[in-house]
Amino acid sequence: MLAAPGPPSVSEPVPIVGDWDLNLRRTHYGPAVEGRKKERFTCKETAGHVECVVRSVRTDGRELVGTFRAALDGAVSPVVGMPGMDEVRLQPGPGVLGAVFGLRGTPVFAYRAYRSADGASLMIVSVDPASGRALNSVVVYDRH
């Protein structure tokens, strides 16, 4: 029998925790993804939850601020300010954090987040929300 993953161990940091700036030179967006000029992704861990704020400037100049506070136990948590998404479910595992975003209960976007061994960068790989298969977007952030 397989057990559901629990929160990461105390010695293993949640990959997205930190203050991250988008590295456009190392980022590759898939064909349907809206490009960014600039983005800051800030997350902190408190009491079994991760609180994140994403401040984004899109290529057309629009500024968006998205937020979520999600439990590390896989529970559905609300998302605010992210177009086409109103919930997230975090799925921690050894060295990786999976996230599945939904709209009214239907999965619409997912990713796996990996932190570099030296902690200087964060790589987010888009995955199919149903199968978990890697897709075309790879977004890289550098520690601020």
Domain of residue 74, CATH code:
2.40.128
Token pair listed for 140: 């890289």
Give domain status of residue 8, yes or no. Answer: no
pLDDT in tens, 52-73: 999 999 999 999 999 999 999 9
CB 113 within 8 A of CB 54: no
Give domain status of residue 132, yes or no. Answer: yes
pLDDT category at 32 given cuts 50, 70, 90 is: confident
Task: Give the pairing of strands 36-46 and 121-127.
Answer: unpaired
Give domain status of residue 10, yes or no. Answer: no
CB 11 within 8 A of CB 34: no
Its domain, for residue 107, covers 18-143
Give domain status of residue 9, yes or no. Answer: no
Task: For residues 130-141, give the mean pLDDT.
Answer: 95
Q: pTM for this one?
A: 0.88
pLDDT of residue 31: 85
